[in-house]
Structure 1
Amino acid sequence: MTLPGGTTTTTTTMESEPSSPRDAKNSSDDSSAVEFHHVNALVSRWMLDFSFTSVCRHFKDDKLNDFDLALKKLEANCEGCMTQKWQIAAFLGRVMHGSQIPDEVEGEGYVMPLMVATSLWRTLRDTVADVEEYNAISTLLHVQSVAVCLKEGRKDLASTALKWLKDTQNIPKNLAIKLSTLVVKGDSNHPYMRNFQYKHLLEKVQLYLDHFLAENPSDFLLKAAMKVAQSSHSPDSSSQQDQSSSQTTEESIPAFKRHKKRLFHFKKEELWLPQSNQKPQKNSTRLSAKAATGPLPKKVRKKWTPFLDEVLMKAVRKHGEGNWKLMLLDHNFNGRTGVMLKDRWRILKRETVA
């Protein structure tokens, strides 16, 4: 099997195990023919490619936390070596954090992430086949280095970034004049800025990554892991595992203890024999509420006290007979209603006449 890097390896199976000490000695001699540092270098290259592919994928998905974690892993795999893929990853990191400006920074001496990305982009000129694509990303980096500062209201940082672009980068004169005018006005919502927005920069960089990965495939380890993951989760593999496990269990049971399989399955069912031709009658009687819930508790009558009788007589003298609702507004009468007040007043009138 041919692997990335031009290395050819031979695959062996479990059937080719040495059957004698002489075969074991010959196999050990063959394995020692490939030195370990060559294998280690190849595996390290695969791990570097996998980390780089993860960085590119998280950049496209705009997942900042996952991107930072993958970038740290790539930095650990690089071990200080300045490879081309590490420079691209460092460029992606500056672009990813390009729209963030800390509040406590000062204008003098502060280098923004997009300014560093502009410098790194010049070193990656050989990785871009299309000149127009390279110039488009360069222009977006120049404009956004200034626009990000104006958007945060930092004219001091915008003027510092523009001065740095003029001194160190090959910024076109017409672009420098236009940006100088916008910095003086402090206008971040100018129509000219809308043509060079930050999202346009991300889209162009993502397109550049697609072209680079197509010409420099780095997903060997990723594809191998995906094949293993798909085969382990496929229903065929699980069914094969179930069949193999069932076969092993059957083989482990002695022959005289195994259950004999029947060719035909018979199920005993009881026949239904009608007792008569009449249809069964349904009992449509319903239980009453008292039968369903049991006997209801008896109501306890509230006795009228002499105090309540006196309050009722005073209320009748105040509001007049018949105005029971007005009387209830003055006194609750221990939860009694207007009808109860009326009945009690009749009793009091009888007692008074008697």
Structure 2
Amino acid sequence: MAEDASSTALSPRGCADGKDADPAEELKAERRKDDQEQFECQEQLECKMQVGTLEEEEEEEEEGSPGAVAAGWMLDFLCLSLCRAFCDGRCEDFRRTRDSAEDAQFESDERITPLESALMIWASIDKKHDKLHEDIQNLIKIQAIAVCMENGNFKEAEEVFERIFDEPNSDTPLKRKLLMIISKKDTFHSIFQHFSYSHMMEKIKSYVNSVLNEKSSTFLMKAATKVVESKRTRTATTQDNSNDTEMETEANVDIGKRFVWVWEEDNNLRSGVKKYGEGNWSKILLHYKFNNRTSVMLKDRWRTMKKLHLASSDSKD
């Protein structure tokens, strides 16, 4: 009986044959539904709270975390290195530094050509609205169409044209010119020769150089420069100290040689004391020959000679 009751239990939505569900079962199902909804709401609320906490932590990290600040310095340095490698034509260094920062990403839409993607990125970095930036933007537009036409893809050139000049009020001389060229399929038009790919690259290099001149004093580069200069200073100081030590050693040797008392000087000192008396050092120095001695040196030497019993005079200090 229990098995039959279990097998014939009605679902909350009623039986498959269209019979209504048991009222008691409906009530239980409704409660289970309410409990489930309440549980899901609670989960969503907790999830939002966790996300909010994480966002606050990320904001705090961006504002005050040393790690975030250091990461910003490193990213600035990588961007600076990219610009320099690009301007110097060091392709391998450019690729290596680029891969260190992040992989190049183009649009997920396969119809978007690389130059169109570059045009979108270029438009996003326009802050000063200067003429050089505008010139480069027009050059990218011209080259985006030129590449398609050079490959014989005139239909693609039309599509690229429609995408890059999608604003209805953007009726410019460049737009009219390119539209005419595409309609005539004039692949070798002079505009493509004058505003060539190499011309575009030179303009971009000029722009990047201006950025380098403006941003060349990034903190990480400043800090690295200080470290290098400090090492050079320490090396130079060490070399100077080494040279000074060598000079001092040589000078001390010379001084030692110069101030060593020889037998003739000791004999002259004994004779002087015997003739003029102890204490008359200036008179002794004047009348006897000594090797660059002073009165004080004579006095000190006489004291030493008496201690060593080298003085023949019985005079005292």
Larger helix fraction of residues: 2
